[in-house]
Amino acid sequence: MSNIIDSLPAQDGFRMPGEFESHAGCFMVWPERPDNWRLGAKPAQQAFVAVASAINRFEPLTMGVSAAQWEHARHALPASVRLIELSSNDAWVRDTGPTCVVNAAGEVRGVDWQFNAWGGLEGGLYFPWDRDAQVAEKLCKLQGLDLYKAPLILEGGSIHVDGEGTCIVTEECLLNHNRNPQLSREEIEQHLRDYLNVSVIIWVPRGVYMDETDGHVDNMLAIPRPGEVILHWTDDASDAQYERSVEAFEILSQARDAKGRALKIHKLLQPGPLFLTEEESAGVDQVAGSAERRAGSRLAGSYINHYLANGGVVVPVFGVAEDGEALRVLREIYPEREVVAVPAREILLGGGNIHCITQQLPAGR
Ligand code: KQY
Protein backbone atom coordinates (compact mmCIF):
# COMPACT_ATOMS: atom_id res chain seq x y z
CA MET A 1 0.00 0.00 0.00
CA SER A 2 1.39 3.40 -0.98
CA ASN A 3 -0.36 6.77 -0.68
CA ILE A 4 0.35 10.22 -2.01
CA ILE A 5 0.62 12.55 0.98
CA ASP A 6 -0.53 16.11 0.77
CA SER A 7 1.56 17.64 3.57
CA LEU A 8 5.32 18.34 3.75
CA PRO A 9 8.08 16.07 5.09
CA ALA A 10 9.44 18.75 7.44
CA GLN A 11 5.96 19.35 8.90
CA ASP A 12 5.56 15.60 9.41
CA GLY A 13 8.96 15.19 11.11
CA PHE A 14 10.69 13.48 8.17
CA ARG A 15 14.26 14.34 7.06
CA MET A 16 16.55 13.17 4.31
CA PRO A 17 19.31 11.10 5.96
CA GLY A 18 22.94 11.34 4.87
CA GLU A 19 24.02 8.71 2.39
CA PHE A 20 26.54 7.51 5.01
CA GLU A 21 23.63 6.43 7.28
CA SER A 22 22.47 2.85 6.99
CA HIS A 23 20.54 1.59 3.98
CA ALA A 24 17.86 -1.01 3.39
CA GLY A 25 19.18 -1.31 -0.15
CA CYS A 26 19.98 0.38 -3.41
CA PHE A 27 18.17 0.88 -6.74
CA MET A 28 19.72 0.90 -10.19
CA VAL A 29 18.23 0.91 -13.72
CA TRP A 30 19.66 -1.09 -16.63
CA PRO A 31 21.17 0.96 -19.52
CA GLU A 32 20.14 0.24 -23.09
CA ARG A 33 19.61 3.32 -25.26
CA PRO A 34 22.13 3.32 -28.11
CA ASP A 35 22.10 7.11 -28.57
CA ASN A 36 23.67 7.51 -25.11
CA TRP A 37 25.63 4.30 -24.58
CA ARG A 38 28.06 3.19 -27.24
CA LEU A 39 27.90 -0.13 -29.06
CA GLY A 40 24.28 -0.76 -28.15
CA ALA A 41 25.10 -0.25 -24.46
CA LYS A 42 27.01 -3.54 -24.18
CA PRO A 43 30.18 -2.06 -22.55
CA ALA A 44 28.03 0.07 -20.22
CA GLN A 45 25.99 -2.97 -19.23
CA GLN A 46 29.20 -4.73 -18.19
CA ALA A 47 30.15 -1.72 -16.08
CA PHE A 48 26.67 -1.64 -14.50
CA VAL A 49 27.00 -5.34 -13.65
CA ALA A 50 30.33 -4.59 -11.94
CA VAL A 51 28.79 -1.71 -9.97
CA ALA A 52 25.72 -3.75 -9.00
CA SER A 53 27.89 -6.68 -7.92
CA ALA A 54 30.15 -4.42 -5.84
CA ILE A 55 27.21 -2.75 -4.08
CA ASN A 56 25.40 -6.04 -3.60
CA ARG A 57 28.32 -7.26 -1.47
CA PHE A 58 27.22 -4.67 1.09
CA GLU A 59 23.45 -4.30 0.70
CA PRO A 60 20.43 -5.56 -1.28
CA LEU A 61 20.32 -4.28 -4.85
CA THR A 62 17.22 -3.89 -7.02
CA MET A 63 17.72 -3.38 -10.77
CA GLY A 64 14.92 -1.96 -12.93
CA VAL A 65 14.99 -3.42 -16.43
CA SER A 66 12.79 -3.21 -19.52
CA ALA A 67 10.87 -6.25 -20.73
CA ALA A 68 13.08 -6.32 -23.82
CA GLN A 69 16.27 -6.62 -21.77
CA TRP A 70 14.92 -8.82 -18.99
CA GLU A 71 16.38 -12.15 -20.01
CA HIS A 72 19.77 -10.74 -20.91
CA ALA A 73 20.01 -8.70 -17.68
CA ARG A 74 18.95 -11.70 -15.59
CA HIS A 75 21.70 -13.72 -17.16
CA ALA A 76 24.32 -10.99 -16.74
CA LEU A 77 23.59 -10.07 -13.12
CA PRO A 78 24.28 -12.12 -9.99
CA ALA A 79 21.26 -14.13 -8.82
CA SER A 80 21.26 -12.13 -5.56
CA VAL A 81 20.31 -8.95 -7.46
CA ARG A 82 16.54 -8.43 -7.49
CA LEU A 83 15.27 -7.65 -10.99
CA ILE A 84 12.05 -5.72 -11.51
CA GLU A 85 10.44 -4.82 -14.80
CA LEU A 86 10.52 -1.05 -15.15
CA SER A 87 10.03 1.24 -18.13
CA SER A 88 12.46 4.14 -18.32
CA ASN A 89 14.05 6.46 -20.84
CA ASP A 90 17.55 5.89 -19.48
CA ALA A 91 19.43 4.65 -16.44
CA TRP A 92 20.04 7.60 -14.08
CA VAL A 93 18.08 6.56 -11.01
CA ARG A 94 19.85 9.07 -8.75
CA ASP A 95 17.89 11.67 -10.69
CA THR A 96 14.70 9.80 -11.58
CA GLY A 97 14.25 7.75 -8.41
CA PRO A 98 12.75 8.90 -5.12
CA THR A 99 14.67 10.90 -2.54
CA CYS A 100 13.77 9.03 0.63
CA VAL A 101 13.08 10.69 3.95
CA VAL A 102 12.82 9.08 7.40
CA ASN A 103 11.35 10.00 10.78
CA ALA A 104 12.47 9.26 14.31
CA ALA A 105 10.21 6.20 14.45
CA GLY A 106 12.03 4.72 11.45
CA GLU A 107 9.26 5.24 8.92
CA VAL A 108 10.46 5.85 5.37
CA ARG A 109 8.68 7.94 2.73
CA GLY A 110 9.61 9.01 -0.79
CA VAL A 111 9.87 12.46 -2.34
CA ASP A 112 9.01 12.49 -6.04
CA TRP A 113 10.52 15.56 -7.70
CA GLN A 114 9.50 16.67 -11.17
CA PHE A 115 11.92 15.61 -13.90
CA ASN A 116 12.73 17.24 -17.26
CA ALA A 117 15.83 15.32 -18.41
CA TRP A 118 18.26 17.96 -17.10
CA GLY A 119 16.78 20.98 -18.83
CA GLY A 120 13.77 20.02 -20.91
CA LEU A 121 13.77 21.56 -24.37
CA GLU A 122 16.44 24.08 -23.29
CA GLY A 123 19.57 21.97 -23.16
CA GLY A 124 17.95 18.80 -21.82
CA LEU A 125 19.70 15.56 -22.74
CA TYR A 126 16.93 13.62 -24.47
CA PHE A 127 13.30 13.72 -25.45
CA PRO A 128 10.89 12.33 -24.38
CA TRP A 129 11.46 11.75 -20.65
CA ASP A 130 7.93 10.69 -19.70
CA ARG A 131 8.89 7.22 -18.47
CA ASP A 132 11.76 8.54 -16.39
CA ALA A 133 9.33 11.00 -14.80
CA GLN A 134 7.32 8.01 -13.50
CA VAL A 135 10.22 6.07 -12.01
CA ALA A 136 10.15 7.59 -8.50
CA GLU A 137 6.46 6.91 -7.98
CA LYS A 138 6.76 3.38 -9.35
CA LEU A 139 9.68 2.56 -7.03
CA CYS A 140 7.79 3.96 -4.04
CA LYS A 141 4.78 1.83 -4.93
CA LEU A 142 7.00 -1.21 -5.36
CA GLN A 143 8.44 -0.66 -1.87
CA GLY A 144 5.07 0.26 -0.33
CA LEU A 145 6.33 3.75 0.56
CA ASP A 146 4.01 6.72 0.93
CA LEU A 147 5.23 9.63 -1.15
CA TYR A 148 5.25 13.39 -1.40
CA LYS A 149 4.98 15.02 -4.83
CA ALA A 150 7.30 18.03 -4.79
CA PRO A 151 6.27 20.93 -7.03
CA LEU A 152 9.67 21.66 -8.52
CA ILE A 153 12.00 20.21 -11.10
CA LEU A 154 14.99 18.73 -9.32
CA GLU A 155 17.33 15.77 -9.67
CA GLY A 156 18.68 13.73 -6.78
CA GLY A 157 22.23 14.32 -8.02
CA SER A 158 21.80 18.06 -7.56
CA ILE A 159 21.48 17.86 -3.76
CA HIS A 160 23.69 16.53 -0.99
CA VAL A 161 22.70 16.52 2.69
CA ASP A 162 24.49 15.76 5.95
CA GLY A 163 21.34 14.39 7.58
CA GLU A 164 21.72 16.98 10.34
CA GLY A 165 20.07 19.95 8.66
CA THR A 166 22.59 20.97 5.99
CA CYS A 167 22.10 20.78 2.23
CA ILE A 168 24.72 21.64 -0.41
CA VAL A 169 23.73 22.56 -3.98
CA THR A 170 25.20 24.44 -6.95
CA GLU A 171 23.86 27.68 -8.34
CA GLU A 172 24.76 26.48 -11.82
CA CYS A 173 22.14 23.76 -11.57
CA LEU A 174 19.40 24.84 -9.20
CA LEU A 175 19.26 28.41 -10.49
CA ASN A 176 19.52 27.36 -14.13
CA HIS A 177 16.68 28.87 -16.19
CA ASN A 178 16.02 25.42 -17.66
CA ARG A 179 14.77 23.98 -14.35
CA ASN A 180 12.45 26.29 -12.39
CA PRO A 181 12.63 29.76 -13.99
CA GLN A 182 9.47 30.87 -12.16
CA LEU A 183 11.05 30.33 -8.73
CA SER A 184 13.44 32.67 -6.93
CA ARG A 185 16.46 31.42 -5.00
CA GLU A 186 14.49 31.96 -1.77
CA GLU A 187 11.53 29.95 -3.07
CA ILE A 188 13.83 27.10 -4.12
CA GLU A 189 15.44 27.20 -0.68
CA GLN A 190 12.01 27.01 0.93
CA HIS A 191 11.22 23.85 -1.07
CA LEU A 192 14.51 22.31 0.06
CA ARG A 193 13.65 23.16 3.67
CA ASP A 194 10.16 21.69 3.28
CA TYR A 195 11.03 18.49 1.45
CA LEU A 196 14.46 17.64 2.94
CA ASN A 197 13.95 19.17 6.39
CA VAL A 198 17.15 21.20 6.27
CA SER A 199 17.84 24.60 7.81
CA VAL A 200 21.13 25.63 6.16
CA ILE A 201 21.65 25.58 2.41
CA ILE A 202 25.20 26.09 1.14
CA TRP A 203 25.36 27.33 -2.45
CA VAL A 204 28.51 26.43 -4.34
CA PRO A 205 28.68 28.47 -7.56
CA ARG A 206 29.52 25.78 -10.12
CA GLY A 207 30.06 22.06 -10.52
CA VAL A 208 32.54 20.13 -12.67
CA TYR A 209 33.65 21.64 -15.97
CA MET A 210 31.67 20.21 -18.92
CA ASP A 211 29.22 18.34 -16.70
CA GLU A 212 26.15 17.98 -18.91
CA THR A 213 23.82 18.02 -15.91
CA ASP A 214 24.55 21.75 -15.49
CA GLY A 215 26.89 21.18 -12.59
CA HIS A 216 25.34 18.54 -10.33
CA VAL A 217 26.79 18.79 -6.86
CA ASP A 218 27.28 15.00 -6.65
CA ASN A 219 30.09 15.16 -9.22
CA MET A 220 31.74 18.10 -7.47
CA LEU A 221 31.70 17.20 -3.79
CA ALA A 222 30.68 14.43 -1.42
CA ILE A 223 29.76 14.42 2.27
CA PRO A 224 31.54 11.48 3.94
CA ARG A 225 30.06 12.33 7.36
CA PRO A 226 28.61 15.42 9.07
CA GLY A 227 31.07 18.30 9.23
CA GLU A 228 33.22 17.14 6.30
CA VAL A 229 33.22 17.42 2.51
CA ILE A 230 35.41 15.95 -0.22
CA LEU A 231 35.98 18.42 -3.05
CA HIS A 232 36.89 17.69 -6.68
CA TRP A 233 40.23 19.41 -7.16
CA THR A 234 43.08 20.26 -9.49
CA ASP A 235 46.31 22.10 -8.66
CA ASP A 236 46.75 23.08 -12.32
CA ALA A 237 45.86 26.76 -12.48
CA SER A 238 45.69 26.57 -16.28
CA ASP A 239 42.99 23.88 -16.22
CA ALA A 240 39.37 24.91 -16.81
CA GLN A 241 38.37 23.12 -13.60
CA TYR A 242 40.73 25.13 -11.41
CA GLU A 243 38.64 28.28 -10.97
CA ARG A 244 35.50 26.22 -10.29
CA SER A 245 37.19 24.21 -7.55
CA VAL A 246 38.85 27.26 -6.00
CA GLU A 247 35.59 29.22 -5.81
CA ALA A 248 33.85 26.21 -4.24
CA PHE A 249 36.70 25.87 -1.74
CA GLU A 250 36.33 29.52 -0.75
CA ILE A 251 32.57 29.20 -0.18
CA LEU A 252 32.93 25.94 1.74
CA SER A 253 35.78 27.35 3.88
CA GLN A 254 33.59 30.20 5.03
CA ALA A 255 30.42 28.17 5.49
CA ARG A 256 28.96 26.96 8.77
CA ASP A 257 26.71 23.94 8.69
CA ALA A 258 23.36 23.57 10.47
CA LYS A 259 25.15 22.59 13.68
CA GLY A 260 27.38 25.68 13.47
CA ARG A 261 30.49 23.70 12.48
CA ALA A 262 33.17 24.89 10.07
CA LEU A 263 33.62 22.20 7.41
CA LYS A 264 36.72 20.04 7.13
CA ILE A 265 37.50 20.02 3.39
CA HIS A 266 39.36 17.11 1.79
CA LYS A 267 40.71 17.82 -1.71
CA LEU A 268 40.52 14.94 -4.19
CA LEU A 269 42.48 15.39 -7.41
CA GLN A 270 40.57 14.94 -10.65
CA PRO A 271 41.45 12.16 -13.10
CA GLY A 272 43.06 13.11 -16.38
CA PRO A 273 41.64 15.42 -17.79
CA LEU A 274 39.85 12.80 -19.86
CA PHE A 275 38.55 13.16 -23.44
CA LEU A 276 36.20 11.20 -25.68
CA THR A 277 38.09 9.19 -28.33
CA GLU A 278 37.16 8.88 -32.02
CA GLU A 279 36.33 5.24 -31.52
CA GLU A 280 34.08 5.94 -28.53
CA SER A 281 32.29 8.72 -30.36
CA ALA A 282 31.72 6.53 -33.42
CA GLY A 283 30.02 3.89 -31.29
CA VAL A 284 27.15 6.15 -30.22
CA ASP A 285 24.06 6.41 -32.43
CA GLN A 286 23.61 10.05 -33.42
CA VAL A 287 19.97 11.00 -32.84
CA ALA A 288 18.49 14.51 -33.04
CA GLY A 289 17.46 15.74 -29.60
CA SER A 290 19.95 13.57 -27.72
CA ALA A 291 23.24 14.80 -26.24
CA GLU A 292 25.97 14.94 -28.87
CA ARG A 293 29.05 12.77 -28.28
CA ARG A 294 31.81 14.52 -30.22
CA ALA A 295 35.32 13.04 -30.40
CA GLY A 296 37.79 15.12 -28.43
CA SER A 297 35.22 16.58 -26.06
CA ARG A 298 36.21 16.76 -22.43
CA LEU A 299 34.56 14.29 -20.05
CA ALA A 300 33.44 15.37 -16.59
CA GLY A 301 35.38 12.58 -14.87
CA SER A 302 35.44 12.68 -11.07
CA TYR A 303 36.20 10.30 -8.20
CA ILE A 304 33.67 12.25 -6.14
CA ASN A 305 30.90 10.43 -7.99
CA HIS A 306 31.12 7.39 -5.70
CA TYR A 307 28.42 5.53 -3.78
CA LEU A 308 28.37 4.87 -0.03
CA ALA A 309 26.95 1.41 0.68
CA ASN A 310 26.60 -0.17 4.12
CA GLY A 311 30.25 -0.55 5.14
CA GLY A 312 31.53 0.12 1.60
CA VAL A 313 32.49 2.87 -0.83
CA VAL A 314 32.11 2.00 -4.51
CA VAL A 315 34.45 4.28 -6.46
CA PRO A 316 34.81 4.83 -10.21
CA VAL A 317 38.29 4.41 -11.66
CA PHE A 318 39.34 5.23 -15.19
CA GLY A 319 42.55 3.32 -15.89
CA VAL A 320 44.69 6.45 -15.46
CA ALA A 321 47.64 7.40 -13.29
CA GLU A 322 45.49 9.36 -10.82
CA ASP A 323 43.41 6.30 -9.82
CA GLY A 324 45.90 5.01 -7.25
CA GLU A 325 46.23 8.29 -5.36
CA ALA A 326 42.44 8.80 -5.39
CA LEU A 327 41.92 5.38 -3.81
CA ARG A 328 44.61 6.09 -1.22
CA VAL A 329 42.97 9.39 -0.24
CA LEU A 330 39.49 7.83 -0.11
CA ARG A 331 40.77 4.99 2.10
CA GLU A 332 42.13 7.62 4.46
CA ILE A 333 38.84 9.53 4.50
CA TYR A 334 36.74 6.39 4.98
CA PRO A 335 38.75 4.17 7.37
CA GLU A 336 35.52 2.58 8.61
CA ARG A 337 34.51 1.38 5.13
CA GLU A 338 35.93 -0.95 2.50
CA VAL A 339 36.82 1.07 -0.60
CA VAL A 340 36.08 -0.90 -3.79
CA ALA A 341 37.26 0.38 -7.19
CA VAL A 342 35.13 -0.28 -10.28
CA PRO A 343 36.33 0.55 -13.82
CA ALA A 344 33.78 3.14 -14.89
CA ARG A 345 34.92 4.93 -18.03
CA GLU A 346 31.95 3.42 -19.88
CA ILE A 347 29.58 5.03 -17.38
CA LEU A 348 31.36 8.35 -17.70
CA LEU A 349 30.89 8.19 -21.49
CA GLY A 350 27.13 8.24 -20.86
CA GLY A 351 27.41 11.50 -18.93
CA GLY A 352 27.64 10.58 -15.26
CA ASN A 353 29.06 8.01 -12.90
CA ILE A 354 28.42 5.56 -10.07
CA HIS A 355 26.59 8.00 -7.81
CA CYS A 356 24.34 9.04 -10.70
CA ILE A 357 23.26 5.47 -11.48
CA THR A 358 22.43 4.50 -7.89
CA GLN A 359 19.82 5.59 -5.37
CA GLN A 360 19.88 4.44 -1.77
CA LEU A 361 16.84 3.29 0.16
CA PRO A 362 17.45 4.33 3.77
CA ALA A 363 17.03 1.74 6.49
CA GLY A 364 13.73 2.09 8.24
CA ARG A 365 12.35 0.42 11.30
O1 KQY B 1 25.05 12.57 -13.91
C2 KQY B 1 23.88 12.40 -13.82
N3 KQY B 1 23.29 12.50 -12.65
C4 KQY B 1 23.02 12.15 -14.96
C5 KQY B 1 23.70 12.29 -16.22
C6 KQY B 1 22.73 12.14 -17.32
C7 KQY B 1 23.40 11.96 -18.60
C8 KQY B 1 22.44 11.64 -19.68
N9 KQY B 1 23.12 11.39 -20.88
Top mutation candidate among 48, 212, 286, 305 for ligand 1, by most atoms within 8 Å of CB: 212
Q: Which residues line ligand 1 (CB under 6 A)?
A: 36, 92, 94-95, 125, 157, 212-213, 216, 291, 350-352, 356
Please give the biggest Cα pair distance in the chain.
Answer: 55
Alpha-carbon distance of 209 to 301, in angstroms, equals 9
Q: Is the dihedral of CA 25, 27, 28, 29 positive or negative?
A: positive
| Overall pTM surpassing 0.95 (yes/no) | yes
- Residue 211 vs residues 139, 196, 233, 244: alpha-carbon distances, Å: 27, 25, 15, 12
- What residues form DSSP beta bridges with 258? none
Catalytic annotation, residues? 356
Query: Cα–Cα distance between 351 and 275 in angstroms, integer?
Result: 12
CA–CA separation, 301 vs 347, rounded Å? 10
Rounded to the nearest angstrom, the distance between the alpha carbon of 35 and the centre of ligand 1 is 13
Judging by DSSP bridges, how do beta strands 23-29 and 61-65 pair with one another?
A: parallel
Can you tell me the distance from the alpha carbon of 113 to that of 97, in angstroms, rounded to the nearest whole number? 9
CA–CA distance, 188 with 154 (Å, rounded to integer): 10
Task: Quote the ligand 1 centre to 117 CA distance (angstroms).
Answer: 8
Residue of minimum CA distance from atom 4 in ligand 1: 352
Q: Going residue by residue through the chain (365 aa), what tens digit of pLDDT does each one get? A: 899 999 999 999 999 999 999 999 999 999 999 999 999 999 999 999 999 999 999 999 999 999 999 999 999 999 999 999 999 999 999 999 999 999 999 999 999 999 999 999 988 999 999 999 999 999 999 999 999 999 999 999 999 999 999 999 999 999 999 999 999 999 999 999 999 999 999 999 999 999 999 999 999 999 999 999 999 999 999 999 999 999 999 999 999 999 999 999 999 999 999 999 999 999 999 888 787 889 999 999 999 999 999 999 999 999 999 999 999 999 999 999 999 999 999 999 999 999 999 999 999 87
